[in-house]
Amino acid sequence: MEYFEITEQDKELIALAGEVIEKNYDDKTYNHTVGSAVRCRDGSIFLGVNCDGVHGSCAEFISIGAAITAGHREFDTIVASRGDSRGGLLPPCGNCRQMLLEYCRDVKVILNDSGGNIVKVRVEDLLPLPYIHSEFF
């Protein structure tokens, strides 16, 4: 697995993901517990929070959807931040890993490794041997 340098722009992205969930964290019904920030290749940043429910959506889906809605299709880096007192960054769930591969195969993901260190890796490294629709690739 290749690790990429955490840049100042990455630190800004991490802070924005933390800020969006801090503003929207819901500790009563837990509908909003994760914030996400995605940076497009042109430098545009889009934010999202998860919308939990029977068929909820992860924060990564929401931030990617916001970017796509605004006409962006090329993504550079994404990060998700926990909204509770534990703080920290979260790896994408399996469903998000699949979605990221399908919508932005070259995106890099910022997360905490097993030792708690902040790392940046390719999404491909997080989902080896993915299911791939031939129409997408």
Alpha helix positions (H), 44-135:
59-69, 94-103, 123-126
pLDDT of residue 136: 52
Helix (H, G, I), strand (E, B) or coil at 122: strand
The confidence score (pLDDT) of residue 70 equals: 98
Tell me which of 60, 74, 102, 135 is the catalytic residue: 60
pLDDT in the model for residue 84 = 79
* pLDDT for res 26: 86
pLDDT of residue 130: 82
pLDDT value of residue 34: 95
Task: Name which CATH class applies to 8-126.
Answer: alpha beta
pLDDT at residue number 56: 86
Low-confidence ranges of the chain (pLDDT < 70): 85, 134-137
Q: Quick check: is 2 catalytic?
A: no
Query: What pLDDT score was predicted for residue 123?
Result: 96
The predicted pLDDT at position 55 comes to: 79
Separation in Å, CA 101 to CA 53, 69, 131? 24, 18, 9
Structural domain boundaries in the chain: 8-126
